[in-house]
Amino acid sequence: MTEEEVFEHEATCFLERHACPRAPEELRWGEGPEELTIFHETTGAAEQREVEEAKRWQATRWQAGFGWICGPPQYGGRGLPASFDRIYRSVEAGYAVADLSPLRIGLSTVGPSLVVNGSDVQIRRFAVGVHAGDIVACQLFSEPDAGSDLANLKTRAVADGKVWRLSGQKVWTSNAQFADVGLALARTDPDAPQHRGLTAFLVPMDSVGVQVRPIRQLTGGASFNEVFLDDVEVADDLRVGATGEGWRVALSTLSTERTATGDRSHALTGRGFRLLRTLARRQGQGDDPAVRQALAHLHARLEVARYHQLRIQAAAYGEGEGPPRAMDKLLLAGNLQAIGEVAARLLGPKVAADTGEWGTYAWSRWLLGATGYRLGGGTDEILKTMIAEKALGLPRAPS
């Protein structure tokens, strides 16, 4: 057997010991929840239960050697190529395991960023902690006046002996309500050019002066938070990278964020499309040429996005980043919106008025949630500018 086949067999044996096979999904109209919420939305005891279940499953994977498949061996990873991680995820998808959404920011964004930018102590304490299921991490980048224009952020970090004092406001922070640590970007030199006066820090979320408030979304859920930093004391050994090198840290972090955004998208869009086809038949529009054309066009879009992502995943490490990932994110955001638009076209007023009929008003959550995907991980405009400049060689946009 090849090395990949041996690994796949090992992963299968592990999952058979620790999980049950996932039952095939059968979309039966009118049975169970519609599951048309794009962003994960739970609160209270249910949310805390999901966090604990995710940490336990990640700890189980870590102990068996599947918690950090591509991670550096000196930090407990297996040092395997990305293709092995894809093999594992493909096998695990067939088993009923805990949802790792509460840990995803740490596993896919903060952890990888620390491996590139952090000190040995930071990697061992936080990146390893995340992959071992001990630590939940969040990302403290965006601000009310600095979302896609991240270099315009206002949060300040002032040196005070051997510590820094951070003050400011962060927004759209996923998982902040139960995170142990946040990777924050702050301005340490207000006189330097925007991109050169920034520094990254690891902020313990239980520090005095940290306040987390949920943000109520259009859908009614609260998947994101605003975080207030009021003279928060952070030790200098929690500074990530050199002072003034925060922009470099931010760029590598945002690259992995776009990777995480795209890689888990196709199960969601695929399920949405299957529901759309059933909806068209139930609405008596299954034979309408215009509806059939809209569904065919949508199917083609979804296939293009799927094949594009497969091409990125097959690329050598580092070759699929930058513009290819930006294209992946744009395809996902556009497809989510297109699915919602076709649903609205099929339903008419039913998408805006809750009649209690299964599979109708529930689409309103999809429509409202799809807007958020055009913002998270870089807005459409920012990503299109990146593709224009770095892939097409067009002149830089005037500043």
CATH of the domain at 144: 2.40.110.10
Q: What is the DSSP letter of 66?
A: -
Do residues 97 and 148 both lie within one domain?
A: no
Pair of tokens at residue 112? 């990888």
How far does Cα 287 stand from its chain's mean position? 38
Q: Minimum mean pLDDT among 8-12, 22-26, 166-170: which range?
A: 22-26
Do residues 88 and 143 both lie within one domain?
A: no
Distance CA 127, CA 135 (A): 9
42 pLDDT more than 80: no
320 occurs within a structural domain: yes
DSSP of 303-320: HHHHHHHHHHHHSPTTTT
Do residues 176 and 215 both lie within one domain?
A: yes
User: Cβ atoms within 10 A of the Cβ of 339, count?
Assistant: 26
Pair of tokens at residue 317? 């490490």
The CATH number for 85's domain is 1.10.540
Distance CA 165, CA 155 (A): 10
319 pLDDT more than 80: no
The model's pLDDT over 138-188, given as tens digits with 9 standing for 90+, comes to 999 999 987 667 888 999 999 999 999 999 999 989 999 999 999 999 999
Confidence of residue 99 (pLDDT cuts 50, 70, 90): very high
- DSSP SS3 for 109: helix
How far does Cα 324 stand from its chain's mean position? 17
Do residues 214 and 331 both lie within one domain?
A: no
The model's pLDDT over 217-265, given as tens digits with 9 standing for 90+, comes to 777 777 789 999 999 999 999 999 999 999 999 988 877 665 555 555 7
Do residues 236 and 286 both lie within one domain?
A: no
Confidence of residue 211 (pLDDT cuts 50, 70, 90): very high
Distance CA 30, CA 10 (A): 39
DSSP of 214-251: EE--TTS---EEEEEEEEEEEEGGGEESSTT-HHHHHH
257 occurs within a structural domain: no
What average pLDDT score do residues 14-28 get? Answer: 89
397 occurs within a structural domain: no
Do residues 351 and 327 both lie within one domain?
A: yes
Q: Mean of the per-residue pLDDT values for the chain?
A: 90
Distance CA 301, CA 265 (A): 13
Distance CA 173, CA 142 (A): 8
Do residues 288 and 378 both lie within one domain?
A: yes
What average pLDDT score do residues 115-120 get? Answer: 96
DSSP of 251-291: HHHHHHHHHHHHHT-HHHHHHHHHHHHHHHHHTT-TT-HHH
Do residues 238 and 271 both lie within one domain?
A: no
398 occurs within a structural domain: no
The pLDDT of residue 258: 52
Length of the chain: 399
Distance CA 327, CA 383 (A): 8
Distance CA 112, CA 108 (A): 6
The pLDDT of residue 33: 84
Q: Cα 359–363–369 angle (5° rounding)?
A: 150
The pLDDT of residue 264: 56
The model's pLDDT over 191-205, given as tens digits with 9 standing for 90+, comes to 998 889 999 999 999
The pLDDT of residue 399: 60
Q: Which region, left, alpha or beta, applies to residue 98 given φ > 0 means left and ψ of -120 to 50 means alpha? A: beta
Tell me whether strands 181-187 and 137-140 are parallel, antiparallel or unpaired.
Answer: parallel
253 occurs within a structural domain: no
Share of the chain above pLDDT 90, in %: 64
The pLDDT of residue 320: 54
> Hey, which residues are catalytic here?
257
396 occurs within a structural domain: no
249 occurs within a structural domain: no
* Phi and psi at residue 347, to the nearest 5°: -90, -30
Helices (H) and strands (E) in the chain, counts: 13, 10
The model's pLDDT over 333-359, given as tens digits with 9 standing for 90+, comes to 999 999 999 999 999 999 999 989 999
Contact 100, 58 (CB under 8 A): yes
User: Cβ atoms within 10 A of the Cβ of 36, count?
Assistant: 22
The CATH number for 329's domain is 1.20.140.10
313 pLDDT more than 80: no
Tell me whether strands 163-174 and 156-160 are parallel, antiparallel or unpaired.
Answer: antiparallel
Single pTM value for the model = 0.85
Closest residue by Cα to residue 162 from 228, 231, 55, 238:
238
Contacts of 312 (CB under 8 A, 6+ apart): 262, 320, 324, 325, 328
Do residues 127 and 145 both lie within one domain?
A: no
Do residues 7 and 126 both lie within one domain?
A: yes
The pLDDT of residue 83: 86
Place of tokens 């938070």: 225
Do residues 237 and 292 both lie within one domain?
A: no
The pLDDT of residue 34: 86
259 occurs within a structural domain: no
Domain containing 365: what range? Answer: 265-391
Do residues 43 and 142 both lie within one domain?
A: no
How many domains does one find in the chain? Answer: 3
Contact 8, 69 (CB under 8 A): no
